[in-house]
A and B are shown apart, each in its own frame.
Chain A
Amino acid sequence: SQTIHQWPATLVQPVGSPLSLECTVEGTSNPNLYWYRQAAGRGLQLLFYSVGIGQISSEVPQNLSASRPQDRQFILSSKKLLLSDSGFYLCAWGGQGPGNIQYFGAGTRLSVL
């Protein structure tokens, strides 16, 4: 069966520090991969998605970047965090083709202070 791992669960970082969040998927090949962010009390905002290794689509201009160095690995990064980067970050994977389902990880709660 497929599983998605996302870590860390909680992170507190100072303003201006770098960020690296990692997500890995097991039990499937060539998945679509996604990074979402949810601000406190708000809905989910799609940040990046990837349909293959090295292929990244950015949805929102921001202080963040994403990379997919391996088929089942998706990394969210920042060189210098801003206060506005605080939020709940979620990784998800999905199949390819119409009618596919996205499955979400447990999320990382990031607080930038």
Chain B
Amino acid sequence: DAKTTQPPSMDCAEGRAANLPCNHSTISGNEYVYWYRQIHSQGPQYIIHGLKNNETNEMASLIITEDRKSSTLILPHATLRDTAVYYCIVDFGNEKLTFGTGTRLTIIP
């Protein structure tokens, strides 16, 4: 059973913020929200993860709702290189990660 629900595809204009939503209504208290992306023909790349608080790093920001049932990954200034499939994963993070089908994000010039 999928733990997360993501839109299959999204477009975003270059230079704008890309906001990728993820629903995870059955998340348990100790499960983290992870985001990875996969650029065509490459291995997945870790972006960010969080448990309860919002997180920010050099790549992106992760906003988790107070009830933890959904989250949003924000790429603040999207570039063409951000075109990829983005995976939202909910897991304890101590062993395996289960990847769904993700959101295909296309950055439009």
Contacts and interface: CB of A to CB of B under 8 A. Distances in A.
A91 to B, nearest CB: 8
Contacts of B45: 104
Given A43-B99, A43-B101, A99 B93 contact: yes
A106 B41 CA distance: 9
How big is the A interface, by class? 20 to 34
Contacts, number: 55
B96 A96 contact: no
B43 A107 contact: yes
B95 A49 contact: yes
Nearest to B99: A44
Given A43-B99, A43-B100, A43-B102, A100 B94 contact: yes
Interface residues of B, number: 23
A98 B43 contact: no
Given A99-B49, A103-B46, A107-B41, 4 more contacts: A46-B98, A59-B96, A92-B44, A102-B97
A96 B94 CA distance: 6
B97 to A, nearest CB: 6
A90 interface: yes
B60 interface: no
Contacts of A43: 87, 99-102
A68 to B, nearest CB: 15
A79 B29 CA distance: 43
A98 B32 contact: yes
Contacts of A96: 94
A61 interface: no
16 contacts: A32-B95, A43-B100, A44-B44, A46-B96, A46-B98, A49-B95, A90-B44, A92-B43, A96-B94, A99-B94, A102-B97, A103-B46, A104-B43, A104-B45, A106-B42, A107-B41
Interface in A81-113: 88, 90, 92, 96-107, 109
